[in-house]
Structure 1
């Protein structure tokens, strides 16, 4: 891999693109196992510079200079100042809401331009996705000036709270005598809280992009709780996020996540170590025992046990060790550059671990049993647990982010299959980016290599549990699949609404219907297979086949155990599917272009 040049698969692109789809997936899955996405080092360097200069250094400079604290290089003077922590949270919310933190750049499917977010959400007629149809005054799926005003007002309100000096707090002075920097004015936090909720009711994309499921509770605690209760509530919040994420990794999915994540990490230079995460590279790409240990010892166990140690420990050395473990845990995730690129979030959590559990340790009166009221404790715990519990039992009702399944492998997902030439109809949709294939070409890739690169992302999906099911449904429903253009739903979603963080709910049937209003696909031109996350207590995942022009045309299930038992390229054919409903109409005929190619014995340059 070069600094500027990508690490492209060792194929001849024109010949490769004429191979059957699943043979292409086999070649690219094997390539991913050794090389990951193949991004040039320049891409990772850009991310590191953004993380260090814009986020970390920029955030600390803003927090210290607006709070009358010593310069940022005097770390010992500001690292445990509560107002710095508050402003780092606000800084993170601001960058996430603009779209220049998580889900930014090439690893998130944004090549030219690299920024989604504000370029879409401050533009009229772009797609907005309301979370619930029953909420009054939210009808429609296009952004108007009212939505843009709400969004800009959110950014302004966060900036005002961020750049304003602190105010005196009696509860802070009582707990930390001599503190002169104060806290963020609670009155200035009311507007960001209200506007984040209002924006979320109009468009769930903005709420999720701002990571409202985690930062909204923090802002609420800043605004209403006295200082000691605020610190303890923040500890409960971060522990719920950690433990929730750890618990969500129980089951069969997460072991599938670790091998392709390690394979994509530029910090792992040894090919033998990447191969060791697969049972028998290149013949068997299911997770090896090493991958299982990485997943459920280095991952699940750390995320469940270590946070509970931090929450209850009153031993200085045990707490210090637990803090070190969690900091290393988050820095390891940063080093792997996962495709949603949640780098800022992980750096924030590393700092939060040090600030909360060493800056205000349990043995100084900041333990969970030091809350001012047992009723407050019960209320906080109940409030923080309601969405993770509901979202895991009913994943169809709650986004995977409030459900705390951020990187568990148990995701709602989708793949799109276009008839030849039909993908171009997406250019009819009002948005601020072109199709990703065209972005790669404009960035300098030859068209055939741009197509191979886009298919590399599709192969990444096959390396996860739900990918085997999605492609099984495609193979069952589309006998012409080898002649179609197949696209990963999450990447496609990024080009249409400017954001995705692995949440399939952002490109579900509502999204497809919104796209169809402008794209105007003909029946059979755009077929989407979409699957919901596996619910607690269930052994299956529920899928839908959606024709963009007709709506849902099939529903069914597959068993998760049968999905994880197969290879990414399905050498034994589709896994068993249980069809539960079919639209009562004849099957959609293949478009004329595909029929013509099949008659002449050709595949497609997808």
Structure 2
């Protein structure tokens, strides 16, 4: 790829779009193997400049200037000053809540404008998604003036906490932190999107520790927090999904220019693009093992050489993630974790009185560990109850996911959504000068990307069996599509489940059969299946069922052997039964899906 010119798939746009859906998916998935999204390097450069100037330079300048630890270029003077770390955490939360950190820009599916966040959350009338229906005073799905006031107050308190002077021997005024915590919780109870965008599951405990614990207890608790994040994420990668994340992630990395190395992550390109042993080794030796073992070494090591080696390894780990530009682009989060590793474990090592056993009370230690582990444990046992972010499944591949299918012309109805500060992504691209066919193929690259992950094979299987003329329909990857409706996406299907669909439907009014969603929940840690739903925007859920993860990961992205087996556990009265859809054993879906031998039957 060039600096300004991307690597567009080598197809004739007009004739390509007339091909069957799964044939298009195969072509785009094979192109992804060698080129990823084909993003011009100018885009990656924009992210790097934003990270270095706005986050690193801007954040450290603000943190050091307001804490008496400056100047910011004298790193040796402030790198282990607690108030600087505290203010950098607050600076990170501020940028996340504004919407200019994670899930920003073209790589996250935001083309014009490149910012979601504040454009949605400071605007009355936009969609909000409450996390729990039983919480008083959270009814409805429309952002009110009160929601906007709470959001702007949160921004103001965060900015004040960063900007107000402090002493390098002290910390930020706890009253300011309490105000931030209260506002973040209130905003989150009204709209889970905002809480998740703020990465509240990680930064809220940190603020609690800053505000209420003594110095040594605070440092040790912050160590426990970051270790729980690392180890939780590492444990979640031990399933069948993660290798299917690493291979397409490496393919999309601008830091890996060698196509032979990208192809090596697949078994037999172009015939078989399931993950190879190389991808498995990258995933579980360079990922799972490092993310579980190294943090435990950091937590318990009292040897300076061992600690230094472990610190260096985790810094490299986070820099590698930054270099791959993952599609939610959490670059600031990874940069903060790289710094936090140095600050916590090298600046305050266990042998200097900052080990787990140095907390003031064993009961406090137990309470901190139990509190930090609660949502990861619950979320892995009952993924339907907890977002994959508090569950600590970042980039494990085990996500709630969805594909949206629109009848011909129906997607345009989304552009009539009131108070929406943007348009559909395919229209954003056309507004930037992309021809219509090129814009469409660009967006179809995202569904090819989804097909390369484990869930994609099951989701495409459902579409094939439920929409006989699927080749004529518009299919969208829901993670990308939902951010143009709510201003944020981070791989969490809970942000585009029935709550979002019903909110859109109440405003737009799709007819039955115009907008079909196939949606799947994350895999529970003790289960071998994933639970899916088929949703008609006008009718609600019309089918529920399961598929085996082992069947999903063993299929090719374009399903040359037909849809994977799945089991229907419930269907709405009057809905077609699977046997009606597949009486001949070959299915009635897209033309590229013939050859399946199994008949789906109700439970």
Which TM-score applies when normalising by structure 1?
0.95
Q: Which one of the candidate residues 503, 517, 528 is aligned to 1:539? A: 528
SS in structure 1 opposite 2:405? Answer: strand
Tell whether the 8 Å contact from 2:516 to 2:536 is kept in structure 1 after alignment. yes
Aligned-residue offset at 1:284: 0.3
Q: Report the counterpart of residue 56 of structure 1 in structure 2.
A: 56
SS in structure 2 opposite 1:456? Answer: helix
SS in structure 2 opposite 1:546? Answer: strand
Measured in 2, the distance between the counterparts of 1:327 and 1:230 equals 22
**In the alignment, does 2:279 pair up with 1:279?**
no
Deviations 1:153-210 (A, max 9, x none): 111111111111225xxxxxxxxxxxx5421111211100000000000000000000
Q: Report the counterpart of residue 378 of structure 1 in structure 2.
A: 366
SS in structure 1 opposite 2:107? Answer: helix
Q: Report the counterpart of residue 582 of structure 2 in structure 1.
A: none
Aligned-residue offset at 1:278: 0.2
Measured in 2, the distance between the counterparts of 1:573 and 1:426 equals 31
Q: Report the counterpart of residue 129 of structure 1 in structure 2.
A: 129
Deviations 1:394-434 (A, max 9, x none): 00000000000010000000000000110000012131110
Aligned-residue offset at 1:6: 1.8
**In the alignment, does 2:327 pair up with 1:339?**
yes
Tell whether the 8 Å contact from 2:20 to 2:591 is kept in structure 1 after alignment. no
SS in structure 1 opposite 2:270? Answer: coil
Q: Report the counterpart of residue 176 of structure 1 in structure 2.
A: none
Flag the 1:602–1:465 CA change in 2: closer, same or farther, 3 A. closer
Tell whether the 8 Å contact from 2:471 to 2:591 is kept in structure 1 after alignment. no
SS in structure 1 opposite 2:574? Answer: coil
Q: Which one of the candidate residues 536, 551, 563 is aligned to 1:562? A: 551
Measured in 1, the distance between the counterparts of 2:132 and 2:400 equals 18
**RMSD of equivalent CA atoms:** 1.2
Flag the 1:229–1:480 CA change in 2: closer, same or farther, 3 A. same
Q: Report the counterpart of residue 595 of structure 2 in structure 1.
A: none
Q: Report the counterpart of residue 67 of structure 2 in structure 1.
A: 67
Q: Which one of the candidate residues 232, 243, 253 is aligned to 1:255? A: 243
Tell whether the 8 Å contact from 2:379 to 2:391 is kept in structure 1 after alignment. yes
Measured in 2, the distance between the counterparts of 1:267 and 1:586 equals 49
Aligned-residue offset at 1:560: 0.2
Q: Which one of the candidate residues 207, 211, 215 is aligned to 2:195? A: 207
Q: Report the counterpart of residue 141 of structure 1 in structure 2.
A: 141
Q: Report the counterpart of residue 500 of structure 1 in structure 2.
A: 489
**In the alignment, does 2:541 pair up with 1:552?**
yes
More deviation, 112-121/186-195: 186-195
Q: Report the counterpart of residue 216 of structure 1 in structure 2.
A: 204
Measured in 2, the distance between the counterparts of 1:329 and 1:476 equals 42
**In the alignment, does 2:159 pair up with 1:190?**
no
Deviations 1:329-353 (A, max 9, x none): 0000000000000100000000000
**In the alignment, does 2:339 pair up with 1:351?**
yes
**In the alignment, does 2:423 pair up with 1:423?**
no
Tell whether the 8 Å contact from 2:236 to 2:393 is kept in structure 1 after alignment. yes
SS in structure 1 opposite 2:542? Answer: strand
Equivalent residues in 2 for 1:63-212 (5 A)?
63-166=63-166, 180-212=168-200
Tell whether the 8 Å contact from 1:265 to 1:335 is kept in structure 2 after alignment. yes
Q: Which one of the candidate residues 449, 464, 486 is aligned to 1:475? A: 464
Aligned-residue offset at 1:602: 12
**In the alignment, does 2:219 pair up with 1:225?**
no
Measured in 2, the distance between the counterparts of 1:395 and 1:537 equals 11
Measured in 1, the distance between the counterparts of 2:576 and 2:2 equals 48
More deviation, 410-419/180-189: 180-189
Aligned-residue offset at 1:48: 0.2
Measured in 2, the distance between the counterparts of 1:72 and 1:159 equals 18
Tell whether the 8 Å contact from 2:454 to 2:553 is kept in structure 1 after alignment. yes
SS in structure 1 opposite 2:543? Answer: strand
SS in structure 2 opposite 1:530? Answer: strand
Aligned-residue offset at 1:586: 4.5
SS in structure 2 opposite 1:496? Answer: helix
Tell whether the 8 Å contact from 1:69 to 1:181 is kept in structure 2 after alignment. no
**In the alignment, does 2:496 pair up with 1:515?**
no
**In the alignment, does 2:515 pair up with 1:526?**
yes
**Structure 1: unaligned runs, 5 residues or longer:** 168-179, 589-600
Deviations 1:123-168 (A, max 9, x none): 011000000000000000000100000100111111111111225x
- Tell me the number of residue pairs that the alignment of Structure 1 and Structure 2 aligns: 579
SS in structure 1 opposite 2:210? Answer: helix
Deviations 1:553-603 (A, max 9, x none): 000100000000000000000000100111102559xxxxxxxxxxxx999
**In the alignment, does 2:31 pair up with 1:31?**
yes
Measured in 1, the distance between the counterparts of 2:435 and 2:7 equals 14
Aligned-residue offset at 1:463: 0.1
Tell whether the 8 Å contact from 1:468 to 1:570 is kept in structure 2 after alignment. yes
Q: Which one of the candidate residues 424, 428, 441 is aligned to 1:435? A: 424
Measured in 1, the distance between the counterparts of 2:177 and 2:406 equals 46
Measured in 2, the distance between the counterparts of 1:60 and 1:602 equals 56
Segments of 4+ in structure 1 off by > 2 A?
A: none
Deviations 1:365-400 (A, max 9, x none): 000110000000000000000000000000000000
Tell whether the 8 Å contact from 2:69 to 2:84 is kept in structure 1 after alignment. no
SS in structure 2 opposite 1:155? Answer: helix
SS in structure 1 opposite 2:517? Answer: strand
Measured in 2, the distance between the counterparts of 1:65 and 1:181 equals 14
Q: Report the counterpart of residue 434 of structure 2 in structure 1.
A: 445
SS in structure 2 opposite 1:269? Answer: coil
Measured in 2, the distance between the counterparts of 1:428 and 1:181 equals 55
**In the alignment, does 2:285 pair up with 1:290?**
no
Aligned-residue offset at 1:327: 0.3
Aligned-residue offset at 1:7: 1.1
Measured in 2, the distance between the counterparts of 1:468 and 1:602 equals 16
Aligned-residue offset at 1:519: 1.7
Q: Report the counterpart of residue 41 of structure 1 in structure 2.
A: 41
Measured in 2, the distance between the counterparts of 1:165 and 1:73 equals 19
Measured in 1, the distance between the counterparts of 2:234 and 2:575 equals 45
SS in structure 2 opposite 1:544? Answer: strand
Measured in 2, the distance between the counterparts of 1:87 and 1:372 equals 25
